[in-house]
């Protein structure tokens, strides 16, 4: 990725060790906000939907 | 194969259970061959059919249940790990999830006959919160079908199986040569990939303490932290470096248009 970005003219670098090294160094992380989450289907959601429909 | 047959004749029940269990937890093991050998051994009277069937089914159920529990605790990160080997991991995850959601029940019944799918189906069921009893029931049907199919082949065609084993022994040397050539070819392929991608190793790298110092300095406004992990954020509670954004690595041409050219971009993954 970094190499491709540099070829496109961006000043790109790679963080050694990634998120794991970042956490290990005690640097701040954040929980991904709800609107950035991708909601994949689950069977539990389908069950919850049926329960709501039955309750109406 | 002949070693497997003689092992099964002496320690049949344990061997069948272990081999079937090992394959069920995703490791490469010849479960189908073990079942065929078990069926042949049962036909010749060395083993009893009910015990072979029960142990084979139990091995599969226990192995699949372990993967189900793993999937339910690790969420989508396990699927992300399994999809790492695909060309487009993000698409692999999304399509696997959608496909399993639509066909999950049928998939569990027939998954064991399809390499790859047999390993992914139980953790997918766990990740997608399929009720455990439902999963167990469907997996039981699948395990019975699988054990019956291959055990049945071995039982019905046990004479043919012995003939195959004899031919396999005679062709043993040729098979060894083919296996060695395949291994050499694979190693050569990996070396060629390494050589082709060595250019990517000249990308400048920065260690966390150095980056942390830059973020505390007046350079911080010029820095953009970018998460390029191969899959998206699926699990509530997923974490990222504070202040970072995510770009989809398999959609780079569109993502590049959104990136600022006047800032230093620091990429990270897991």
Which A-chain residues 1-56 have CB contacts (< 8 A) with chain B?
A: 1-6, 8-25, 27-32, 34, 36-45, 47
Q: State the Cα–Cα distance between residues B261 and A8, nearest whole angstrom.
A: 10
pLDDT band for A56, please (50, 70, 90 cuts).
Answer: very low
Give the mean model confidence (pLDDT) for residues A43-52.
53
The pair of structure tokens assigned to B102 is 């639509």
CA distances from B239 to A37, B21, B130, B173 (A): 11, 34, 25, 53
Q: State the Cα–Cα distance between residues B200 and A4, nearest whole angstrom.
A: 9
- Look at the pTM and tell me if it is higher than 0.80: no
Work out the percent of chain B whose per-residue pLDDT is above 90.
Answer: 28
Q: Phi/psi class of residue B94: alpha, beta or left (left: φ > 0; alpha: ψ in -120 to 50)? A: alpha
Q: State the Cα–Cα distance between residues B31 and B40, nearest whole angstrom.
A: 14
Do the chains contact at A13 and B266, CB–CB below 8 Å?
yes
CA torsion B133-B138-B140-B144 (nearest 10°) is 170
pLDDT tens-place string over residues B132-162: 999 999 999 999 999 999 999 999 887 776 6
Tokens 């953790």 correspond to what residue?
B123
B141–A contact, CB cutoff 8 A: no
CA distances from A20 to A15, A29, B85, B208, B264 (A): 10, 11, 21, 10, 21
- Residue in A6, A19, A37 nearest the CB of B233: A37
B85–A contact, CB cutoff 8 A: no
pLDDT tens-place string over residues B176-230: 777 778 778 877 877 787 677 665 556 889 999 999 999 988 888 899 999 988 6
**Residue B266: strand, helix, or coil:** strand
Q: State the Cα–Cα distance between residues B50 and B180, nearest whole angstrom.
A: 39
Do the chains contact at A40 and B234, CB–CB below 8 Å?
yes
Nearest C-alpha neighbor of B144 from the set B78, B22, B71, B59? B59
Residue ranges per structural domain of chain A = 1-29
């Amino acid at each position: 990725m970094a190499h491709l970005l540099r070829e496109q003219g961006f000043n790109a670098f790679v963080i050694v060790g990634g998120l794991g090294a970042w956490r290990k160094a005690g640097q701040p992380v954040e929980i991904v906000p709800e609107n950035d989450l991708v909601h994949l289907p689950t069977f539990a959601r389908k069950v919850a939907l049926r329960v709501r429909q039955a309750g109406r | 194969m002949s070693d497997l047959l003689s092992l099964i004749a002496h320690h049949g029940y344990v061997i069948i259970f272990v081999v079937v269990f090992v394959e069920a937890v995703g490791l490469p093991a010849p479960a189908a061959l073990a079942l065929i050998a078990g069926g042949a051994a049962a036909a010749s009277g060395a083993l009893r059919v009910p015990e072979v069937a029960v142990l084979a089914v139990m091995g599969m159920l226990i192995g699949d249940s372990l993967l189900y529990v793993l999937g339910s605790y690790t969420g989508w990160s396990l699927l992300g790990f399994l999809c790492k080997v695909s060309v487009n991991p993000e698409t692999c995850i999304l399509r696997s999830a959608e496909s399993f959601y639509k066909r999950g029940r049928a998939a569990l019944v027939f998954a064991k006959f399809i390499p790859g799918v047999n390993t992914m189906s139980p953790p997918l069921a766990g990740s997608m919160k399929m009720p455990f009893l439902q999963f167990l029931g469907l997996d039981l049907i699948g395990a019975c079908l699988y054990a019956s199919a291959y055990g049945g082949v071995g039982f019905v065609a046990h004479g043919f199986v012995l003939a195959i084993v004899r031919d396999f022994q005679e062709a043993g040397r040729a098979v060894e040569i083919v296996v060695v050539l395949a291994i050499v070819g694979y190693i050569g392929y990996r070396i060629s990939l390494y050589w082709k991608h060595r250019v990517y190793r000249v990308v400048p790298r920065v260690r966390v303490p150095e980056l942390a110092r830059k973020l505390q300095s007046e350079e911080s406004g010029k820095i953009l932290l970018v998460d390029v992990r191969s899959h998206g954020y699926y699990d509530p509670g997923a974490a990222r470096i504070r202040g970072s954004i995510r770009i989809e690595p398999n959609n780079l041409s569109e993502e590049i248009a959104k990136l600022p050219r006047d800032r230093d971009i620091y990429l990270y993954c897991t």
